[in-house]
Structure 1
Amino acid sequence: MSPEIFGILGFVALFAFLAMGAPVAIALLVVGFVGTIFLSGFQAAAFTLSGQVFATVTVYELTIIPLFILMGNLASAAGLSRDLFEAAHKMIGRFKGGLAGATIVGCAGFAALSGSSIASAITMGKVAYPEMRRFNYGAKLATGSIAAGGTLGILIPPSTGFVIYAVLTEESIGRLFMAGVLPGILLTAMFLLAIAVVTFFWPEEGPRGPKFTAKEKLTSLFRATGIAGIVLITIGGIYTGLFTPVEAAGVGAFFALFMLIIRRKCTWATLYDVSAETLKTTGMAFFILIGANVFAPFVSLSHLPATIATGMAGLALGTYGTLALILLGYVILGMFIEGLSLLVITLPIVFPLVVGLGFDPIWLGVVMVIVLEMGLISPPVGVNVFIVKSVVQDVKIETIFAGIMPFWLAMIATLALIVIFPEIALMLPNAMFN
């Protein structure tokens, strides 16, 4: 049996494990280990398994994952996400769709702390949805803005998706973080534009909110300086070269803890919950990375990347036609598989193929993250939609899917702009590192 056939059978087995509900990390470990035994022998498989476990957990750059997760959890416990939403609410809530816009802004700000789409959707869902319903917002716009806004968590730095992409492709975490800034701002602006279009044609979906005095606005802005300060310190420190990404994560976590203390919310129970959630999420992330690093050598041994590259070249689709086909595949798979899991499963094949076409690997990281975001809200199994459904149980799932469609189209437009104008993603990292 040829190595390519073993590779195909490996992917079939992997998706079968996932369909049966096996954890992604376990599925990757088992398939990668057993596949390597068949292709290269037990000794090579055992060496890969033991070596990759040690190699993964001792990578200094991966220290950034627990530190940024800790920062996000501390900020959430301190109530910084609610402060940002309240500030945006008071500033733009009086406009049509203003509360939905405030939700997007709140998700963008919280994404710059948590780096997690799921955490952003859950947090802002609990904060924003009751307010939107209180002001008679339509269920479609209310839930759609939460589900779409949550996807910003894996694009706006610090992003766990970028860290994992950087580790698996040996690219610079700092460059990827900088590459996500302008696309993140652009996508946030496109979401706000989508809200404006929806409320222009269907004003009942996002009625105007109450007016607030200048004093109320200034007070809310002052309270939101906590989250703004942490973002400026971490991202600004990386951009200016004052901190490395790992150092910025540590500084950000310290200031988040400082905010928790000065707001008198630092109790033993809170610290226990924050620590437990940080350890749980960190363990899951590292376990997936270990599985990916065992699975990747098996894919390489199967020669699948070269075979697929040759096959796609034979289709004569051209450079951008091939890219479009790959991205379409990601959107379809993203409907059924969680984004970060899909990234680690497919990257061993997709990365050498796309970079071989001449695309910049940093730009590719941004494009792939946006496409994975699209999968998070694509029917029939958009993960973020079901996350919002778990928070907002009185809304039908089909209503939420209908609500995300304007934002899904906004993602398509953003993706097209970044493909046409790659400097949107590359300008900051090139200015910083060149």
Structure 2
Amino acid sequence: MDPTLVGIGGIILLMVFLTLRVPIAWSLGIVGFIGLLFLLPSHAAFVSLFELVWSKADSYNLSVVPMFVFMGMLAMESGVGSEIYDACNKWVGHLPGGLALGTVAASGGFAAVSGSSIASVATIGRVAIPEMRKYRYDPQLAVGSVAAAGTLGVLIPPSIILVVYGILTELSIGKLLLAGIIPGIVTMIFFGLMIVVRIRIRPALAPPVAPFSWGERFKSIPQVIPIVILFVAVLGSLYLGIATPTESAAVGCFIAFIILLVKADKPKEAFLKAIWGTVDTVGMIFAIIVCVTIFVAFINLSQIPSKAADAVVSLPWPNYVVFIMIMLLYIPLGMFLDPLGILFITMPIIFPAVIALGYDGIWFGVIVTKLIEVGLITPPLGLNVFVAKSVAPEMEIWDIFRGIGWFVVMDFVTISSLMLWPQLVLWLPDMLMK
């Protein structure tokens, strides 16, 4: 049987499994192994299965994942999220839409130590939404800003999405993490400008808040120092060449543990919650990574990636048109699949095609991550929106989706900027990690 037809059949079967809500790890593993049985003698298929699973599970590169996840869990359980929001609120709360601006700034700060958008929404939302309710902010703006700003957690390092992308594509994880910094800042700037302009036009959306004194503002600065230390320690050790990504994540875990001991009301309980949260998350990620290895082996044997790359390169259109068409595929995928699932399913086929078009893999990783951000706040799945709903249960889900509409527009403005000026992504990693 033609290997390409077998590969196409496997992709169709995978879509059927996902539609039936079979867990993504099982879907990838089962389809991959069935495909190997079609393309290899049965004995070779079983040998390949065990070799693939062992080689991936035994990979040193994977050790960075539990470290960064554990660091984020420790930071979340330490309670630093509320302190970040309090400090941001004191500095920008008096500006037009200041509490929403503080939410964006605090989400960016918390993203720098959590690496998780869901953790950002849950942590910042618990303190930001009640505060905005207190000052009679428009509910859609309040909850929408929390859900949208939480997406910074998948872009600003230590982004788990960028780490997994690096593992799948065998690109430098250090460069990928550095590449997410400036796009994250640009995203925050566009969000902030949009909020200020909207409030200038419709002041009733966000009634003014009395400013804090300069003394209160300066007193809030020590609250963010632990986060700054953690962020600088992780990226600084990478930049200076002192540590590998895994070692820098271990440094981050140690500092986050100290922060938890100092900040948490009940350190023992918080530590245990962080451990169990890490086990749960890492178990899911590792299961998918191992199973996607089987699926990738099958897809490579089917020759679909190489044929797809050849077909894309031979299209009679400019490269940028083809690239935009590829990028548009991620919008509907984001509506129905979780971020990791999108990466695992698309990278074996899409990445070779994008590289064949001549685009930089680091830059492409950040663009894909931005598109995944859009999927996190896009109906019908919109994971961040459902997390925000759990924090504000009185809100209707479609009201929250309406509240994030302008943030989605700003996300596309950011994506367009990164595509027009790739150096926004590449300048920092090129300068610091030559």
Q: TM-score range by the shorter chain?
A: over 0.9
CA distance in 1, matches of 2:397, 2:32: 36
C-alpha separation between the residues in 1 aligned to 2:331 and 2:347?
A: 14
Gaps of 5+ in 1: none
Deviations, residues 267-314 of structure 1 (Å, cap 9, x unaligned): 432222111111111111111111111111111112222333344445
Q: Distance in 2 between matches of 1:121 and 1:263?
A: 20
Q: Which amino acid aligns with 1:337?
A: L
Give the whole-Å Cα distance in 2 for the aligned partners of 1:65 and 1:197. 39
Match of residue 330 from structure 1: 330
Q: Say yes or no: does 1:397 pair with 2:382.
A: no
Partner of 2:25: 25
* 1:210-231 deviation line (CA, Å, top 9, x unaligned): 2212222122221221112211
Distance in 1 separating the partners of 2:171 and 2:53? 20
> Offset at 1:102?
1.0
The separation in 2 between residues aligned to 1:294 and 1:198, in whole angstroms, is 49
Over 3 Å counting, the alpha-carbon distance change for 1:425 and 1:9 in structure 2 is same
Change (3 A) 1:263 1:115: closer
Aligned-residue RMSD, C-alpha: 1.5
Inter-partner Cα distance in structure 2 for 1:268 and 1:375: 36
Paired residues of 2:77 and 2:273 also in contact (CA < 8 A): no
Q: Deviations over 1:116-136 (max 9, x none)?
A: 111111222222111111111
Distance 1:263 1:121 in 2: 20
Task: Give CA deviations for 1:87-120 in whole Å, capped at 9, x if unaligned.
Answer: 0011100111111111111111111111111111
Q: Does 1:411 align with 2:411?
A: yes
Alpha-carbon distance in structure 2 between the residues aligned to 1:260 and 1:142? 28
| Aligned residue type for 1:429 | P
Cross-structure match for 1:430: 430
**2:275 corresponds to 1:275:** yes
Deviation at 1:315, TM superposition (A): 4.2
Partner of 1:191: 191
Measure, in 1, the Cα distance between the counterparts of 2:199 and 2:242: 43
The worse-fitting range, judged by mean Cα deviation, of 142-151 and 37-46 is 37-46
Higher mean C-alpha deviation, range 254-263 or range 345-354: 254-263
Deviations 1:134-180 (A, max 9, x none): 11111111111111111111111111111111111111111111111
Matches of residues 47-66 of structure 1 in structure 2 within 5 Å?
47-66=47-66
CA distance, structure 2, for counterparts of residue 178 and residue 129 of structure 1? 31
Measure how far apart 1:338 and its partner are.
Answer: 0.7
Please show how residues 215-226 of structure 1 align to structure 2 within 5 Å.
Answer: 215-226=215-226
Query: Which residue is 2:251 aligned to?
Result: 251
Query: 2-side partners of 1:423 and 1:265: how far apart?
Result: 44
Inter-partner Cα distance in structure 1 for 2:299 and 2:139: 45
1:76 matches 2:76: yes
Match runs of 1:353-368 below 5 Å: 353-368=353-368
CA contact (8 A) 1:335 1:383 kept: no
1:24-53 Cα offsets, whole Å, 9 max, x none, are: 111111111111111123233323322222
Task: Spell out, residue by residue over 1:360-417, the C-alpha distance to the aligned partner (whole angstroms, 9 max, x if none).
Answer: 1111111111111111112233222222122211111221111111111111111111
- Counterpart Cα distance in 2 of 1:15 and 1:103: 37
**Structure 1 runs, 4 residues or longer, greater than 4 Å off:** none
Q: Please identify, of 309-318 and 186-195, the stretch whose mean Cα deviation from structure 2 is larger.
A: 309-318
Q: Is the 8 A contact 2:69 2:114 kept in 1?
A: yes
2:296 matched to 1:288? Answer: no
Question: Is the 1:260–1:266 contact (alpha carbons within 8 Å) kept by the matching residues of 2?
Answer: no
CA distance, structure 1, for counterparts of residue 143 and residue 158 of structure 2? 25
3-state SS, counterpart of residue 336 of structure 2: coil
2:347 — aligned with what?
Answer: 347
Quick one: structure 1 residues 222 and 177, their matched pair in 2 at CA, closer, same or farther if it must change by over 3 Å? same
Q: For 1:211, give the aligned amino acid.
A: P
Cα contact 2:77–2:271 (8 A) shared by 1: no
Distance 1:47 1:128 in 2: 53
Are residue 124 (structure 1) and residue 157 (structure 2) matched? no
Partner secondary structure for residue 393 of structure 1: coil
What CA distance in whole angstroms lies between the structure 2 residues aligned with 1:133 and 1:168?
A: 43
Q: Name the residue aligned to 1:10.
A: 10
Contact 1:62 1:163 in 2 (8 A): no
TM-score, normalising length: structure 2: 0.96
Contact kept? 2:117, 2:152, Cα under 8 Å: yes
Q: CA, structure 1 residues 48+241, in 2 after alignment: closer, same or farther (shift >3 Å)?
A: same
Match of 1:379 in 2: 379
One-letter amino acid of the counterpart of residue 38, structure 1: F
CA pair 264-115 structure 1, distance change in 2 beyond 3 A: closer
Aligned mates of 1:200, 1:300 — CA distance in 2? 54
Equivalent in the alignment of 2:174? 174
Aligned length: 434
Counterpart of 1:413, as a letter, is V
Secondary structure of the equivalent of 1:335? helix
* Maintained 8 Å contact 2:310/2:353: no
CA distance, structure 2, for counterparts of residue 91 and residue 44 of structure 1: 63
- Counterpart residue number, 1:242: 242
Q: Deviations over 1:56-109 (max 9, x none)?
A: 222222222111111111112211111111100111001111111111111111
- State the alpha-carbon separation in 1 of the partners of residues 114 and 49 from structure 2: 31
1:316 corresponding residue in structure 2: 316
State how far apart, in whole Å, the 2-side matches of 1:9 and 1:51 are: 24
Cα distance in 2 for residues equivalent to 1:48 and 1:182: 42
Gaps of 5+ in 2: none
Take 1:49 and 1:100, find their aligned partners in 2: how far apart are those partners? 50
CA distance in structure 2 between the partners assigned to 1:39 and 1:143 by the alignment: 50
Aligned residue in 2 for 1:105:
105
Q: TM-score, normalised by structure 1?
A: 0.96
Q: Which amino acid aligns with 2:116?
A: S
